[in-house]
Amino acid sequence: MAELDVGPQGSLTIRLEVNGEEAGGAVEGRTTLADFLRDQLGLTGTHLGCEHGVCGACTVLLDSLPTRSCLVLAASADGCRVETVEGLARNGQLSRLQRAMWDNHGFQCGFCTPGFLIQAAALLEDNPTPTEAEVRHALSGNLCRCTGYESIVRGVLAAAEVPEQAGDESP
Amino acid sequence: MRGQVAAERYTGASVRRVEDERLLTGRGTFVADVQLPGMLHAAFCRSPLAHARIVAVNTEAARRAPGVVAVFDGAEMAQLASPGGVLGESPGAGGQVSFGILAIDKARLVGDPVALVVAESRALAEDACELIGVDYEELAPVVTVEQALDPGLPAIFEELGGNRLFGPQVKVFGDVEGAFARADRVVRASIHQHRHQNVPMEGRAILASFDAPSGQLLVRASTQGVNTTRQMLAQQLRMPPDRVRVVAKDVGGSFGLKFGASREEVACCAASRELGRPVRWVEDRWENLTVSGQAREESFEVEAAVTAGGLILALRVEMVVDTGAYPGFAPLVVDTVREMIPGPYRLEALSFTSSGVVTNKASYVAYRGPWAAETFVRERMLDLVAQELGVSALEVRLRNLATRDEPPLRMVTGPSLAGITARESLLRAAEAVDLTRLQEQQVRLRAEGRYLGVGFATYIEPAPGPRQEGEGGDSEQVRVEVDRDGLLLVHTAQMPHGQSHRTTLAQVAADEFGASLEQVRVVVGDTRQTPEGFGTGGSRFATMAGGAALHGARRLRGKVLEAAAQVLDLAPTELDIVRGELVGPGVPGGRLPLAELLRRIDLAARSGQLPLGADADLTATQDFDGGESGWSGGTHCCVVEVDPATGLVRILRYLVVEDCGDLINPAVVEGQIRGGVAQGVGAVLLERSAYDLQGQYLSATLMDYLLPTALDVPHIEIEHLSPVRLDPDVNFRGVGEGGMIAAPPTICNAIADALSPFGAKVLEQHLPPARILELIGVTSA
């Protein structure tokens, strides 16, 4: 990580890539990546459910790794590649994971949704044909209070079963 | 493929949710997602003590802190707003005590809001909270029911003269003394349900924006019902209701928590009105767990009058509710527990005594199936009776369950049991799990030192329950209209927060009107647009709103056909509406899109070409009282294995056999059931709102308050029974709460069964490994 420019009142200027586009801005040292994405970039799809790293609603991909954006300072994400729930659909087309979740009534209130989608997308990237036990294990760090998880697990398994379509790279 | 409509009708099919495209792409709108120009942020300075006199509040330094726009202490806030509200005036609900929106002279729980800071950012508001100096004079904390009834401890509200909030109130149904005199034995138990809580993934949140020139307050709320929120805000802010508009978009779960307006939410509205700027507050998880509200802490002394043949003739029940610090919802729950405790069983007499106390803990709120203690106590008691008589849990239930062909088909507390399928559900559950084989397996495994247990619970849920004699007054309104784009708009006071009402109400209306699903828009969450009604809760959506939409859409269809017939000079009987188009032999071109038909009707009406008395207003405002309706209910069955070395419980099988009438959308119904069962799994194995002896809250993070994860909730098998249809048209019944009502007793009964070789007696609901090891004597209590 390069040294950051310190601006007026101690603000720091960061530059990063978010969903494939250049982004940046002035942040306080204490600003979390989640708050930066939500408040400064307007990417409110990433939700804050606990702000202490347990519920997983704020999970984003940070240099391809699923990460709790409430526990990462925006300044430390300088120079990184971030992917959020807003980046899952490409060219207005839902990803196959999103479609499978829709078909399977994956979610109810929708608050935990972004974290599960990112976590599941990362799983399918690593392991395109997971077993149910592997899916449950991979999602066990994300909390949902509505569904009892079965519909989410089914959605991920269904996404894994759908063969890749041409031009559909995002799991 | 799931999501496609195979049949002609949408109703009954698992159509995909209209909500999902937005939510799956990160384009939902929760309160925290909304930013307004000039918006300020709220943070609360809160009491670190459970019980203390507030001697002085010094806000000077906070007022001078960077970014701070205003600070309000309790006395200042009292000038702007006063608490009270929908339930506030009923006895025991708080009518007889006084307190501030912010604590004024006393803090009554850890987290009690003492001052409100409004600043340019949330971080700056929180910084300033640290600068507020509060002098507290510590008082002895009142943490348990025993302490609340101890006259030596200080009263949390001086005007109560103690800490008893209501009761003891005794109600007697049938000949209790006679039944006990006839009984061959009396089975006694003290049964306790522990404190646990809603924990929606989105906590409470509000964005209040007062427009000074017009005097209008616009509130974006996270709520289960915009009307109830408006009613309470207007009352507490002392504003005419027409000056308050409440809007709700996406709501991240609630499970009973977000009704009306909390003290913090009222304070934010008052601050916005005072400052003329938007004020947003989004509670953090500490606040949500510590002060938003908790539920369920109820104790019962039960005596059952039992015959040698295993009939339970009567119950004597004494119930005490720990209502926490600020009174509210408990009296309503007590009434429902009393009415529902007989459940689907033929009890002939009941004596029910109820009391409520206040303690220095979070206030008692509704949580999914708020009255669920009736099922827990009854179903635990049935197993204890079975054990005492040496008969099986299945047998004791079968001997006592009411049967449709045996009068009187009525609970001893009054309600009719018309149409119940409880017996069928129990028999089917026992068959589906192959109980006989399981019991053989249980005996075999015990010889190997492995402990299998099977548990049942049978319940009925008033969702809303069959029509009762002399009952009246409850109704739900839906307004259905065709707009000029040919869309079918369905306006409802229901406020979905995960229940998929935008989909299911559209299914019902589309079928009844003849629209395509894509043509229907369900309008929710705006007091300017939606009808009166308290919102989503009490599992009332399916029957009440579903029924109103069905009848409203049917009536509107009649009006549209009538007007179309007049405009086209055809007989209404020659016309039909199919997938949103007018069709019929005389229709120009064979079919006319709804928008085009509307244009013609409108034109005819404007040019005076509609015959006198014809109705061109294509709106139907429909009230529905539930019709004949019926009970939701069923039987849950759970098979567990308990490891006596670790106390860990593994759920091997979980089966739900249920009857919620006709299904509008099976996938939605099953999602509701599974979600409820998951909360029951949490309640028994993980979740507890724990306090220490000083009233310090010990479960204030999600590392301390454990929610079930994908590894804790098992696969839940669901079978739907075919219902008894009592109403000619509307036989959808609510299903939101049943899972959470039945799961805790089912799982506890299974664990108790597994532990029976140890002589362990399960009289409580929270059974984490540590407690199981105590129950089997590995560790001491």
pLDDT band at residue B5, thresholds of 50, 70 and 90?
A: very low
State the pLDDT at residue B535: 94
pLDDT band at residue B2, thresholds of 50, 70 and 90?
A: very low
* Model confidence pLDDT, tens digit, residues B567-586: 999 998 999 999 999 999 98
| Fold match between domain B298-468+628-775 and domain B476-624 | yes
CB distance A55–B702 less than 8 Å?
A: yes
Handedness of CA B225, B230, B236, B237 (dihedral sign): positive
Q: Are residues A13 and A81 in the same domain?
A: yes
Contacts with A, B 76-135, CB within 8 Å: 123
B2 touching chain A per CB within 8 A: yes
Residues of A in contact with B497 (CB under 8 A): 109
What total number of domains does chain A contain? 2
> Measured between alpha carbons, how far is B546 from B625 in angstroms, rounded to an integer?
11
Residues of B in contact with A28 (CB under 8 A): 123
Predicted model pTM: 0.96
CB distance A110–B23 less than 8 Å?
A: yes
Residues of B in contact with A45 (CB under 8 A): 25-28
State the pLDDT at residue B484: 86
* Model confidence pLDDT, tens digit, residues B674-730: 999 999 999 999 999 999 999 999 999 999 999 999 999 999 999 999 999 999 999
Q: Are residues A106 and A51 in the same domain?
A: no
Q: Are residues A102 and A60 in the same domain?
A: no
C-alpha closest to that of A113 among A158, A168, A155: A155
Shortest alpha-carbon distance between residue A27 and chain B (Å): 13
> Could you tell me the strand order of the sheet in which B279-282 lies?
B68-73, B113-119, B40-46, B279-282, B205-211, B216-221, B244-247
CB distance A101–B707 less than 8 Å?
A: no
The CATH classification number of B34-139+204-251+258-291 equals 3.90.1170.50
Q: Which residues of chain A have pLDDT under 50?
A: 1, 167
Residues of B in contact with A144 (CB under 8 A): 201
State the pLDDT at residue B1: 34
CB distance A52–B703 less than 8 Å?
A: yes
Q: How confident is the model over B766-781, as a mean pLDDT? A: 93
Amino acid at site B222: S
* Model confidence pLDDT, tens digit, residues B528-551: 999 999 999 988 999 999 999 999
Q: What is the mean pLDDT of chain B?
A: 94
State the pLDDT at residue B463: 87
Contacts with B, A 26-55, CB within 8 Å: 28, 30, 38-39, 43-52, 54-55
pLDDT at B6 over 50: no
Domain boundary residue among A63, A87, A111?
A87
* Model confidence pLDDT, tens digit, residues B178-200: 999 999 999 999 999 999 999 99
CB distance A108–B671 less than 8 Å?
A: yes
B778 touching chain A per CB within 8 A: no
Report if residue A27 sits inside a domain. yes
State the pLDDT at residue B173: 98
A96 CB neighbour count, 10 Å cutoff: 21
CB distance B27–A89 less than 8 Å?
A: no
State the pLDDT at residue B550: 98
Residues of B in contact with A114 (CB under 8 A): 26
Shortest alpha-carbon distance between residue B686 and chain A (Å): 14
Q: How confident is the model over B357-366, as a mean pLDDT? A: 96
A168 touching chain B per CB within 8 A: no
Could you tell me the residue range of the domain that residue A45 belongs to? 5-87
Residue to test with chain A: of B5, B17, B23, B130, most A Cβ within 10 A: B23
Residues of A in contact with B255 (CB under 8 A): 145
State the pLDDT at residue B88: 53
Domain boundary residue among A61, A87, A113?
A87
CB distance B3–A102 less than 8 Å?
A: yes
Q: How confident is the model over B132-156, as a mean pLDDT? A: 97
CATH number at residue A56: 3.10.20.30
Q: Are residues A103 and A132 in the same domain?
A: yes
Shortest alpha-carbon distance between residue A5 and chain B (Å): 22
* Model confidence pLDDT, tens digit, residues B76-111: 999 999 886 555 555 566 667 889 999 999 999 999
B24 touching chain A per CB within 8 A: yes
ipTM of this complex: 0.96
B23 touching chain A per CB within 8 A: yes
Q: How confident is the model over B157-186, as a mean pLDDT? A: 96
Q: Are residues A157 and A131 in the same domain?
A: yes
Domain boundary residue among A23, A58, A87?
A87
Q: Are residues A16 and A78 in the same domain?
A: yes
Residues of B in contact with A105 (CB under 8 A): 14, 16-17, 500, 667-668, 671
Report if residue A167 sits inside a domain. no
> Measured between alpha carbons, how far is B280 from B554 in angstroms, rounded to an integer?
42
Q: Are residues A77 and A100 in the same domain?
A: no
pLDDT at B3 over 50: no
Q: Are residues A15 and A42 in the same domain?
A: yes
Q: Are residues A31 and A71 in the same domain?
A: yes
CB distance A85–B25 less than 8 Å?
A: yes
A81 CB neighbour count, 10 Å cutoff: 14
* Model confidence pLDDT, tens digit, residues B415-451: 999 999 999 999 999 999 999 999 999 999 999 999 9
CB distance B709–A143 less than 8 Å?
A: yes
pLDDT at B469 over 90: no
State the pLDDT at residue B87: 53
State the pLDDT at residue B7: 45
Is it true that the peptide bond before B728 is cis, omega within 30 degrees of 0? no
State the pLDDT at residue B161: 92
Report if residue A17 sits inside a domain. yes
Q: What CA–CA distances, in Å, run from B216 to A29, A52, B243, B278, B514? A: 38, 37, 5, 12, 40
Rg (CA), chain A: 16
Residues of A in contact with B671 (CB under 8 A): 105, 108, 146-148, 151
Buried b / exposed e across B453-489, counting CB within 10 Å, b at 16+? Answer: bbbbbbbbbbbbbbbbeeeeeeebbbbbbbeeebbbb
**DSSP bridge partners of B295:** B196
Report if residue A168 sits inside a domain. no
State the pLDDT at residue B471: 66
Q: Are residues A10 and A79 in the same domain?
A: yes
* Model confidence pLDDT, tens digit, residues B259-293: 999 999 999 999 999 999 999 999 999 999 999 99
A88 touching chain B per CB within 8 A: yes
CATH number at residue A112: 1.10.150.120
C-alpha closest to that of B349 among B178, B547, B528: B178
State the pLDDT at residue B468: 81
Thinking of the domain B298-468+628-775, which architecture would CATH place it in?
Answer: 2-Layer Sandwich (3.30)
The beta-carbon neighbor of A148 closest among B20, B251, B674 is B674
State the pLDDT at residue B92: 67
Q: How confident is the model over B154-171, as a mean pLDDT? A: 95
Q: Are residues A113 and A82 in the same domain?
A: no
The CATH classification number of B476-624 equals 3.30.365.10
Residues of B in contact with A26 (CB under 8 A): none
pLDDT at B614 over 70: no
Residue to test with chain B: of A51, A140, A142, A146, most B Cβ within 10 A: A146
Report if residue A38 sits inside a domain. yes
* Model confidence pLDDT, tens digit, residues B15-28: 999 999 999 999 99
Q: Are residues A83 and A149 in the same domain?
A: no
Handedness of CA B515, B516, B519, B520 (dihedral sign): positive
Report whether B658 contacts B718 (CB < 8 A): yes
pLDDT at B466 over 60: yes
State the pLDDT at residue B84: 67
Domain ranges of chain B: 34-139+204-251+258-291, 298-468+628-775, 476-624
A120 touching chain B per CB within 8 A: no
